[in-house]
Amino acid sequence: MLRDIDHFFLEKQEPNKSCLLALKDIILNYHNELELVWRYRLPCFMYQAKIFCYLWVDRKTQMPYIAIGKGVQIEHPQLIQGNRTFVKLFMVDPEKDISIDTIYGIFDIAMELYD
């Protein structure tokens, strides 16, 4: 039987489905202490029992994104805050190559906020 978290990924249409699955692997490969859990009806990646980031798809643009926990404390030109008070978003175009170096660079900055 599939879990809710599995449904989140498998119910998406291509190319978002493949993009989100790739992002999940990229995030989990960043740090061995990141744990994927289903919280608040979305896939969250926890570090030290706190939300490090989560994945979602923008309703208007239908583009996947990584929401960076504690993101409002990070200054990076590719992060979008909008009207959010906790996270900033890293938008991912599913039709283009994913910049792992950029993601990991943002994660490096975010990780400093947890230690």
CB 100 within 8 A of CB 94: no
Report how far Cα 78 is from the mean position of its chain's Cα atoms. Answer: 14
List, for residues 56-105, the tens digit of each pLDDT value.
Answer: 999 999 999 999 999 999 999 999 998 888 899 999 999 999 999 999 99
Rounded CA gap, 110 and 115, in Å? Answer: 9
Domains of the chain: 4-112 (3.90.1150.200)
Contacts with 27 (C-beta within 8 Å, 6 or more apart), sequence order? 34, 36, 45, 53, 55, 66, 103
| pLDDT per position as a tens digit, 10-55 | 999 999 999 999 999 999 999 999 999 999 999 999 999 999 999 9
Whole-model pTM: value is 0.94
